[in-house]
Every structure is written in structure tokens, then in C-alpha cells.
Amino acid sequence: MKKTAIIFFSLMLLGYLSHAQQDSFFKKADAFFKSNVTEGRVKYKEVKQNPSVLNSLTDYVANADVSQFSSDEKKAFYLNAYNLLVIKNIIQAYPVDSPMSIDGFFDKKKQKVAGEELTLNEIENTKVREVYKDSRIHFALVCAAKGCPEIAGFAFTPEMVNDQLQQLTIKALNNPNFTKVNKSKKEVMLSEIFNWYKQDFLNEAPDLLAYINKYRKEKLDKSFKVSHYTYNWELNEADMHN
């Protein structure tokens, strides 16, 4: 009986410590993004000069035990993990003008995530897209390029992740620099993201125009033509002169 009680309390303690570490991760990640993201751009130079907080966060990402995480805990964890590892991979090669200048940035370079060796593409596709089937993640996962939606200046948290995804999707689809509306030509030009992941959006709406209208404050008429503009792979670095 005594041995059973010891085992029980040991498991309780481990669970408490695990939850405390998880809570600490989300708080530290939130502080990191708040400090190093400005107007949707990243202060790569400053992070490169003082990478200790980022290294601490990615160390947690590498060894986290997500086996007991809830669905929303995993969702927030992997969204944060992706964005943190993108930043880490950039500063390892910094100065650099684009993620595409780094060989295998998305599809070859592996990093440890919750005990698994994964590429950025594998985090996106196998841990997020395939599991959650939530198109809004495309406005949250940011690939270090100006063509991406603006990176959030906060961490995703289990309690808020779905509200945060909604917020970011509304922001992107109402941002004239991301969703380019020409009223006189009755045309809307969308990011190549809508081409590359078209089916993700069509799983939630009959067509792309209907999809963006779900989130736009000013709806577009059905007669609007949809096209795509060229993706800008230039690094999404903060302009520190402003």
C-alpha cells in the first residue's frame, strides 16, 4: 500500500512539474515574441547578438513530452515550435537575405521537436495540417519571408490558440498588402499560399473568394476575379532605422 502511494504521488509530482514547465514555455515564448517582433517583422540581428532566450525555448521544444498534452496544447506547442525554429535557423546563417538562400531550409534541415527529428515542412504538414485540418494555420506559421503573413508578436497559448488563429486570419485577409483588392478592375490578388494549399481552403468554402469573404470586413462581390501575385522570399527582417 505504501509503495502504491509513493508511486501515485511521484506521478502526481511529475505531472505537476511537466505542467509547470509547459506553462513556463508559453510565457517565455510570449515574452520572446513581444520583445523581438515589431510590426510583423523579426529583429534577427538583436536575437543573433543575444540568443540565450531563443536557445532556452528551442531546448524545451526539442525535449518536450507532448504525450499527455491536450489537442489545443499540442496545437499551440507546434505553432510556436515552427516559428521559433524558423528564427533559430535564420540566425544560425545570419546575415542572410532570404530563407531560400539556406540549403534545405524547409525540406532537408532537421531539428529535434518533442524527441523527433523533423524538418520545418514535416512540422507543418504532419504535426499541424494533417492533424487539425484548420486552414487558419497558414496565417500563423511564418516562413521568414516578406511574402508570408505578418508574424504574430505573441506566442500561441492553449487557452487562446483558436481565438488567436481567428484574429490572425482576419488581420491577413483585411491587410491590403497581403490581400490586394483592385475595385476598379474587380480583381483580388491573393498570396501564392492560396495556390500551394488550395485544397485546405476549399475544404472550408466553395471557392477562394467565398473563403476570404468569411473573414473580410468589406465583402467582395462574386464577380471579382481571383489571381495570385508573386511570392516575396526576401527576409522578413525588422527595419531597425524606424
- What does the pLDDT read at residue 6? 55
Residues 30 and 152 sit within 8 Å (Cβ to Cβ): no
Report the chain (242 residues): mean pLDDT per 10 consecutive residues: 53 51 94 98 98 98 96 98 98 98 98 98 98 98 98 98 98 98 98 98 98 98 97 94 52
- What does the pLDDT read at residue 7? 52
- What does the pLDDT read at residue 108? 98
- What does the pLDDT read at residue 228? 98
- What does the pLDDT read at residue 113? 98
- What does the pLDDT read at residue 3? 59
Which residues, in sequence order, are CB contacts of 97 under 8 Å at separation 6+?
A: 234, 235
pTM of the model: 0.92
- What does the pLDDT read at residue 161? 98
Cell of 38: 515589431
- What does the pLDDT read at residue 9? 47
Please give the Cα distance from 60 to 168 (Å, whole number). 25
Please give the Cα distance from 110 to 126 (Å, whole number). 14
Q: How many Cα atoms are found within 13 Å in the side-chain-facing hemisphere of 184? A: 0
The strand pair at 187-190 and 225-228 is best described as parallel
